Amino acid sequence: MDLIEPIAPNNGINYFSKDVNSFILEYGNVTDVGRLLSTSSLLLNHYNELTKFLFQTLNVIDCNRLYLDELYKITYDYYQKLFYLIFVKDKINNNLPLNTELTQLRNTLRTSLINDVSIIRIRKYMRNNVNLQETRCFLEVNRIETRELQSAVQSNTSIIIEYRPFDTSGTNNEYFNDSIIIYPSIGSEFTTFDFETLIQNCSSTKQSLLLKEISKFNEIILCLPSPDFIQLLPLFITFVKYFISLNTSVPSIKAYYLNLNDLVKQSETSGQIFNTNSFTNQNNKNIIVGLENEYNSCYMNCIIQCLLEINELSSMLISNSFLNNIDYINPKNSKGTIITALARLEQTMVKSSLSNKMFDQQKTSSCLQLKKCCGTINQMFNSNHEEDCLEFCEFLINSMHDDLKKGTFIRVPQTNINGNKNQKNFEEQAYFAWYSYLEKEFNLIVELFQGQMASILHCQYCLYQSNTFQVFSTLSLTLPPHPSCYIHECINQFYRPENLMGNNEWECSNCKMKRPATQRLQITKFPKILIVQLNRFSNYMNKNTCYVKYPPILDLSVYRNTENIIPKYSLFGVTCHTGTMDAGHYSSYVKKQEDSWWHFDDAKCRPVHFANEFISPNAYVLFYKMIE
């Protein structure tokens, strides 16, 4: 869907809402030729879209007369603004270079405006029909109170559509049974709206289905985030064109400015609204709400339920504190769209959870918008196929890391590492490598999810040792071909040295030739959040169904590391996989307040049936939090 966007967002220009006199005053002192011509080009595009709509589409249906008058008046306003910029300003500003793209653009605009015959029909209509006192009925956006909205929908003949940019600081939530939330497409530009794209941009499948039934309502109430919302005109055209396609009359359409941050205070009389600001102080472990399965999104739902139980992450997302730390310079990130989508989802989940408790409801939330944002960055998540939940988890964590600014006042500590990197300074090497990484990459995501691992190669001939350090966020454990085992057996296998012999001999940098060697892995820095994968699909052919028995408290103190801490972890999340690789399903167990465990299966959520139900033979990814 294409949207109207100002040519200079920082200037706050709203082309359709400014009358001609205000527009002339604003541009009277502008001497930047490039800006004048680019603005003219945008106005011409808008003007052409409106004339095409008026003379090719609206003549097939009896449209509300006030709406027609308004559209003709807006189109005429566009023509007057174009005339001023192209002809009047052209006489004032004669310093346009010759034989340039700007010259060609100006000539194209002049030719288009001179040869246009639509203006004759517009002037004729306005001379005979338009009462200027009655126009702008739709584009006049007024403030509305929640009680007025409540009374408007009591008859079930009105539908509320909340349309708001995805990057606003307001929160998005349904407050009424018949209400729809629509987000604009990412990175779109204005030509005209498309109703099918509006359906796709609804915040959930349930709302998409409701939007398809819009013809049964007698009144459409649009709730906008600001009184001069620039998408209002094309949004209106979209609805009118849709009713034309159905060959039905256009219902009443009203636009209101609904400031959710101010309006959603607890009302003693209605008992319908609660303060959205209050959820920043709520314990996130109270979030108990299901997630709809949107086009096989169970692999996302199970991960989201687990990640949102991390207090530090949830606090950042709920409070919107991340907004000041988005990295807009990094060409490889999503410019904050992914972390913003996750934040909006959690905020909706918090409010839905509170609403469910207050009114004994079973309202669910949807990760559809997050799925769409992820799909724009990685095509893997742009399909309706089932994907691996761990791959999504790693993608989401890496995307949040990329979206946030990096670097800190941390400096690499001075060490006594000499040129001889042998065993005696192994701890110093690990320490130095970790702080070197923090100096460039540190942010909250690194602090929570990332640790450090060493790959140690040891020459059996000269005893030279080579240490390579790398950052990790997931500990992948190979499972034995047995019916069951304990998780420590898998961890021991992870630490077990591998002999490099024969064709696999290591080329020792000290011997300058291939030698028999041993290779082993060692964790030198344990992360605060330890994500453990029980690798059931290592051969990509068959699923290993070994029942891995993992404890609620995981003590890793027996495994050597370079830190002065005792790595003990408390289990708080488990994702489970049932079925086969071709036809499987994901669900999750999550630890809530007072050590209570809940099972989340998409939209369904329930307490566990027995104490250790979360120790599941279907466990695939385990989430542990370090005990301070």
Among all residues, which ones are annotated catalytic?
298, 585
Write phi, then psi, for 564 (nearest 5 degrees): -95, 45
Q: How far is CA 381 from each of CA 186, 299, 371, 396, 586, rounded to the nearest angstrom? A: 16, 10, 7, 11, 16
Q: Cα separation of 157 and 360, whole Å?
A: 26
Residue 353 corresponds to which tokens in the numbers above?
């959870």
Under a CB-based contact definition with an 8 Å cutoff, are residues 292 and 204 in contact? Answer: yes
Q: Cα separation of 547 and 541, whole Å?
A: 19
Write phi, then psi, for 573 (nearest 5 degrees): -155, 145
Residue 398's H or E segment, with its range, is: helix 389-403
Per the document, the length of the chain is: 628
Residue bearing tokens 């104490």: 611
Q: Cα separation of 488 and 554, whole Å?
A: 9
The closest of 358, 423, 355, 380 to 560, measured between CA atoms, is 423
Write phi, then psi, for 210 (nearest 5 degrees): -65, -40
Residue 4 corresponds to which tokens in the numbers above?
């109207």
Count the Cβ atoms, other than its own, within 10 Å of residue 65: 12
Three-state DSSP at 590 gives strand
In our burial notation (b when 16+ CB lie closer than 10 A, e otherwise), range 182-208 reads bbbbbeeebebbbbeebbbbbbbeebb
- Identity of the residue numbered 199: I
Three-state DSSP at 474 gives strand
